[in-house]
Amino acid sequence: MKSRSFGIAGSAVAHPRRSVSSREVDERLGMPHGHVEATFGIRRRQWADPQETSSAMAAAAAAQALAEADWSADTLDVIVGACGVMEQPIPGTAPLVQRRLGLGGSGIRAYDVNATCLSFLVALEHVLDGFALGRWQRALVFTADIASAALDFRDHEASVIFGDGASAFALAADGAHRCRALRIETYADGADLCRLEAGGTRLRPHEDIDGFLAASRFRMNGPGVFRAAGRRLPRFLQTLLGEARTAPHELATIVPHQASAPALEHLKRMLPDGHARTIDIFAEHGNQIATSLPHALHVARTRGRLRTGEQALMVGTSAGISLGGAVFQW
Amino acid sequence: MKSRSFGIAGSAVAHPRRSVSSREVDERLGMPHGHVEATFGIRRRQWADPQETSSAMAAAAAAQALAEADWSADTLDVIVGACGVMEQPIPGTAPLVQRRLGLGGSGIRAYDVNATCLSFLVALEHVLDGFALGRWQRALVFTADIASAALDFRDHEASVIFGDGASAFALAADGAHRCRALRIETYADGADLCRLEAGGTRLRPHEDIDGFLAASRFRMNGPGVFRAAGRRLPRFLQTLLGEARTAPHELATIVPHQASAPALEHLKRMLPDGHARTIDIFAEHGNQIATSLPHALHVARTRGRLRTGEQALMVGTSAGISLGGAVFQW
């Protein structure tokens, strides 16, 4: 498949007002000061209050991205939501963001995609396809997740590392960037390793409220995910770089999903000069589910790390279990 | 944009075992026999028992579609879930179906899209893009919804017309069918007309269980939806048919979302010879959310209504509010 071209006209992130230090989390857990930071490599994260919704955060990020692009919102051709978990089941989060942007009467198509932490890559694939086929010129992709709504603090590893946040990218068909390859692999034999079971068609709160509540906290087998994803990552990267006709040393910047401190360390060690090349915002924001990957891309962009002619790798894992990545030339 | 070609190698639907007559529903509501059928134009629908999950129904339909195609499941390049509401928030329904198909170690990419009742069209767009760009050769698109898990029988219109079901399509890049146009318009000023608010990041069951339970039933302003969608439908269809370079009398078969008996009647009256040309399975299955549109397409296909060289229109509305449609040449 040929590479697809595009431009990033604007990007932004938005977070809840409340920043929670790991010292505060230590107290909540009844652990000695310094425990959470020393154990999990995270200093702070942002947690939403109930009135700070996914669509509100996403709309705030989108407004900033559109302002940078200098696009009137009504010139968008498509709005794609890429949240790990939607704000509510019906309707999707993309229509809710469309309305918050004042586009409720616009007719601009708005819908969602979902691959948990890799949702941004799926949205990007869909938008780049539309650019390549001439279907649209301007797209808004957003992510938003509020992990803090479903954490179980009895399981430290599956709770303290998560943060809330949103991102938005204003993407243009007309641009000098190229996506040389984009790849997703799913291994659902690991589907139970990360799960949030309550909130869909299977568990019915009116019929079994206790079972529903018990299943309404996020469950993660961290070592299991690390093994399932880690053992497949070398071959995955080899295939992706082969499709992109590039090599590890050509990748000037690595933009990873911010899964955990050990996962980031593992990735940095796999790639040449990995520690210097990798965007690592985990200590300040934690794992923001679907927002981590685009947030890291936004940081790479604003820090001048996406230089013309150079290549960058986006890569991550998600519940599913899926591995995903893309190689861009800027 | 040029038309995109594809083939339908197999298709199937699957339903819960339990068929519920409108006479049975009359009794449940305490209404005289014949009331529900006379009022809503529905004779029966299928409602799932708790062990009949979305992924189980979808996998059953998928196995049939793959058998008709004579494809080994491991030859698929992509699995796209297009449910109105997912089985559970994490991971998505597509990985769960991948695992049920014995593909848990395959690496075949599996993720979901969501536009409530129009999800199938979004999935189709994504798959056809991949065909057009040479990214893949074989795709599985499935839908599954269990509306009965979230009905409020105090509101007859928003409950008795819904049924549960799943569909699956085995789609090939190599085929003689063409998608001449596909269009989606979203008007989120109607986002509150159809909603299911509990089950995402906004409402937190552990903090307010009563509020959560109150919001965990589907709410629909039927007349509002009918007005919001109906008044926009003529212009929507005109634009879609213009993009497809066709005219209403060229459409041999109309494949609509099965929203309600009045919505189907309204559509039939809008199009020439509409009553004869329209696939109407509402009385036997009700509104199956995202499954209605592909189920109607499957019925059109198995009844020999998709004849070579002829054109067909898929069209529907969804929560959002969105309008969606596509024109195919077989």
Q: How far is CA B319 from the centre of its chain?
A: 12
Give residue B256's pLDDT. Answer: 98
pLDDT digits (tens, 9 = 90+) for B166-195: 999 999 999 999 999 999 999 999 999 999
Domain final position from A175, A193, A218: A175
Closest CB to B132 among A86, A109, A133: A133
Nearest to A319 by CA among B96, B119, B87, B56: B96
Facing B89 at nearest CB: one of A105, A115, A196: A196
Q: Is it the case that residue A197 has pLDDT exceeding 70?
A: yes
| Claim to verify: residue B166 and residue B189 sit in the same structural domain | no
CA–CA separation, B167 and B85 (whole Å): 14
What SS3 class is residue A194? strand
Tell me if B327 sits within 8 A of B313, measured CB to CB: yes
Q: Which pLDDT value is given to residue A302?
A: 97
Per DSSP, chain A holds a count of helices (H) and strands (E) of: 12, 12
Note whether B320 contacts A132, CB cutoff 8 Å: no
Same domain, B190 and B323: yes
Please state, in angstroms and rounded to a whole number, the distance separating the CA atoms of residues B58 and B66.
Answer: 12
Residue B215 identity (one-letter amino acid): A
Contact flag A190-B104 (C-beta cutoff 8 Å): yes
Structure tokens that stand for A27 in this block: 């107290």
Residue A66 near residue A56, CB atoms below 8 Å: no
Distances (CA, A) of A324 to A139, A183, B135: 21, 6, 15
Closest by CA to B233, choosing from B262, B196, B273, B276, is B262
Distance from C-alpha of B85 to C-alpha of B116, rounded to nearest angstrom:
7
A123 and A266 in a single domain? The answer is no
CA B13, CA B21: separation in Å to the nearest integer? 20
Dump pLDDT digits (tens) for B206-220: 999 999 999 999 999
Report residue A172: phi and psi, to 5°.
-120, 145
Q: Are residues B167 and B217 in the same domain?
A: no
- Of B257, B253, B299, whose CA–CA distance to B272 is shortest? B253
Check CB contact under 8 Å for A90 and B88: no
Residues B138 and B20 in one domain: yes
Contacts of B109 in chain A (CB under 8 A): 184-186, 322
Mean pLDDT confidence for A211-218: 94
Indicate whether A20 and A164 sit together in one domain.
Answer: yes
**What value of ipTM does the predicted structure carry?**
0.97
**Distance (Å, whole) CA B192 – CA A148:** 25
> From the CA of A143, how many Å to the nearest CA of chain B?
13
| Burial category of B221 from C-beta neighbours within 10 Å (exposed 0-12, middle 13-18, buried 19 and up) | middle
Spatial separation of the C-alpha atoms in residues A328 and A5, rounded to whole Å: 9
Which residue has 């080994």 as its token pair? B72
Q: Would you say how long chain B is, in residues? A: 330
> CB distance A95–B188 less than 8 Å?
yes
The pLDDT tens digits of the residues spanning A39-84 come to: 999 999 999 998 899 999 999 999 999 999 999 999 999 999 999 9
Task: Give helix then strand counts, H and E, for chain B.
Answer: 12, 12
Same domain, A241 and A185: yes
User: How many Cα atoms sit within 13 Å of A140 on the Cβ side?
Assistant: 37
What is the per-residue pLDDT for B3? 79
Q: Look at B202 and A87 and tell me if their CB atoms are within 8 Å.
A: yes
Radius of gyration of chain A (CA): 19
Query: Does A226 have pLDDT greater than 90?
Result: no
Name chain B contacts of A322, Cβ cutoff 8 Å: 95, 109-111
Range of the domain at A141: 4-175
The alpha carbon of residue B236 is apart from the nearest alpha carbon of chain A, in Å, by: 10
Give the separation between CA A16 and CA A164, rounded to whole angstroms. Answer: 7
For residue B88, the chain A residue with the least C-alpha distance is A200
Is it the case that residue A1 has pLDDT exceeding 70? Answer: no
Residues of B in contact with A201 (CB under 8 A): 53-54, 83, 85-87, 144-146, 149-150
Torsion of CA B89, B95, B98, B100, to 10 degrees: -40
* Lowest-confidence segment of A156-160, B279-283, B312-316 by average pLDDT: A156-160
- Same domain for B167 and B221? no
Pick from B51, B143, B116: nearest CA to B259? B116
Pairwise CA distance, residues B169 & B175, whole Å: 14
Q: Do A266 and A280 lie in a common domain? A: yes
Residue in chain A nearest B100 by alpha carbon: A188
User: Where is pLDDT greater, at B242 or A207?
Assistant: B242
- Which helix (H) or strand (E) segment holds residue A29: the answer is helix A22-29
pLDDT digits (tens, 9 = 90+) for A5-27: 999 999 999 999 999 999 999 99
Residues in A touching B165 (Cβ below 8 Å): none
Q: How far apart (Å, rounded) are the C-alpha atoms in residues B2 and B297?
A: 23
Enumerate the residues of chain B whose CB falls inside 8 A of the CB of residue A235: none
Using CA of residue A270, residue A271, residue A272, residue A275, what is the dihedral sign?
negative
Residues in chain B with CB shorter than 8 Å from the CB of A319 are 90-92, 95
Helices B261-270 and B233-243, packing angle to 10 deg? 50
Model pLDDT for residues B217-247, shown as the tens digit of each residue? 999 998 899 889 989 999 999 999 999 999 9
Measure CB to CB from residue B114 to each of A112, A184, A195 and give the nearest one: A112
N-to-C CA span, chain B: 18
Rounded Cα gap, residues B127 and A303, in angstroms: 36
| Residue bearing tokens 């924001």 | A285
- CB–CB of A247/A179 below 8 Å? no
Q: What's the pLDDT tens digit per position in A118-137?
A: 999 999 999 999 999 999 99
Residue pairs between chains A and B whose CB atoms are closer than 8 Å? 281
Q: Which of B90, B134, B144 sits opposite A116 (nearest CB)?
A: B90
Same domain membership, residue B186 and residue B167: no
Q: Minimal CA–CA distance to B245: which of B180, B163, B198?
A: B180
- Which of B308, B119, B158, B253 minimizes the C-alpha distance to A111? B119
pLDDT of residue B1: 66
Q: Does the distance separating the beta carbons of B113 and A112 come in below 8 Å?
A: yes
- pLDDT recorded at residue B4: 87
Q: Which of A156, A175, A194 is the last residue of a domain?
A: A175
List the CATH number of the domain containing A289. Answer: 3.40.47.10
Lowest mean pLDDT among A271-285, A310-324, B214-228, B290-304: B214-228
What are the tens digits of pLDDT across the range B49-84?
Answer: 988 999 999 999 999 999 999 999 999 999 999 999
Is the confidence at residue A275, as pLDDT, over 70? yes
Domain co-membership, A203 together with A113: no
Residue A144: pLDDT band by 50, 70, 90 thresholds?
Answer: very high
Tell if the CB–CB gap between B145 and A115 is shorter than 8 Å: no
Asked which of B130, B147, B175 is the last residue of a domain, the reply is B175
Q: Which of B123, B97, B143, B178 is nearest to A126 (CA)?
A: B123
DSSP state of B183: E
What's the domain count of chain B? Answer: 2
Q: Are the C-beta atoms of B328 and B177 separated by less than 8 Å?
A: yes
Q: Is residue A160 located within the same domain as residue A187?
A: no
Q: How far apart are CA B325 and CA B315, in angstroms?
A: 4
For a pLDDT cut of 70, what percent of chain B falls above it?
A: 99
What mean pLDDT value characterizes chain B? 96
Per the DSSP assignment, residues forming a β-bridge with A144 are A166
